[in-house]
Chains A and B, each alone.
Chain A
Amino acid sequence: MEIPYTVELRRDTGLNNGKIGIWLFLASEVMLFGALFASYILIRTGSPNWPRGDTILNVPLATFNTIVLISSSVTMVMAWASLKRNRFGTFRMYQASTVLLGGVFLVVKYFEYSHKFENGLFPSTSNFLALYFTLTGLHMLHVIGGMAVNTYFWGPGAKLWKTNPDWFTNRVEHAGLFWHFVDLVWIFLFPTLYLL
């Protein structure tokens, strides 16, 4: 049975089903991270002492990671634009760059986490570190999920381009929407945890 409205637009919404689906999913994600940000505000305002993030965390590394993630958002949207231009080879180059930049982000995070653990700083050490590991850990899981999907569309999933290029382009756009959301969350996490 064929999946309806993967390319053609629904008359009632003017959208394909995939796009409605990914935006509803992102709405639920906003509430998930919103709950954690609300917890952060509650715990921080209720605490008599709260450390500045830059006294515990590595700001230069996090700044580098911010630049890496923003760059990956650009390569992701360029990958989609390449498909719109009918340039499959360029798409693969940008898509590979997106996955690699995601990998760089994770490697930097690995070094950050390792350094904390070596210095005896764990989630149980303080409220600040509990929030830091929870928020960045959940964000990292999203990066890993996004990388898995992007790798699939770079590799085996790209077969769809030969049989149904419009559908494939839409799927890449929807994966991109998730990836940009991951970038957007980091844009707020970075100053909240590292700079304030």
Chain B
Amino acid sequence: MTSDHAVDHAHDIDRQVRIYITVFVSLMALTIITVAISRFHPPVAVAVSIAMLVATIKGSLVACYFMHLISEKKLIYAVMALTVVFFVVLLAVPVITHNNGFWIH
């Protein structure tokens, strides 16, 4: 029984390691894509949208798999949800109070 459990545990870790390698390759590819797109000098609004979208995908991969957020307990989700709310408010304040809108210049 104990040895079966140990084998299952080892398989779980092996599976996780394969996921880490996949995430690593994805992060590398997304980094190259970000730099490549910026070389075409798209309009600022488009450049910001693409760069932030790719950065958000990369950040989510790091948080979900390297930081194991994908399989965390409820309390950690609650702490992070509250943090995200305050973070969004913090970023929204300069955006909504600026007369000329977002990324005009």
- A: residues with CB less than 8 A from B are 13-15, 19-20, 23-24, 27, 30-31, 34-35, 37-39, 41-42, 44-50, 52, 54, 59, 63, 66-67, 70-71, 73-74, 76-78, 81, 84-85, 176-177, 180-181, 183-184, 187-188, 190-192, 195-196
Contacts and interface: CB of A to CB of B under 8 A. Distances in A.
Among B23, B67, B74, chain A packs the most CB atoms within 10 A around the CB of B67
Nearest to A73: B66
Given A35-B90, A74-B20, A188 B59 contact: yes
A19 B76 contact: yes
Interface residues of B, number: 51
B44 A23 contact: no
Chain B interface helix/strand/loop/mixed: helix
Among A23, A42, A76, A85, chain B packs the most CB atoms within 10 A around the CB of A23
Among A63, A71, A176, A180, chain B packs the most CB atoms within 10 A around the CB of A180
Contacts of A81: 13, 16-17, 20
A191 B105 contact: no
Nearest to B6: A86
Among B62, B66, B86, chain A packs the most CB atoms within 10 A around the CB of B66
Contacts of A176: 66-67
Nearest to A10: B75
A55 B83 CA distance: 34
Contacts of B44: 196
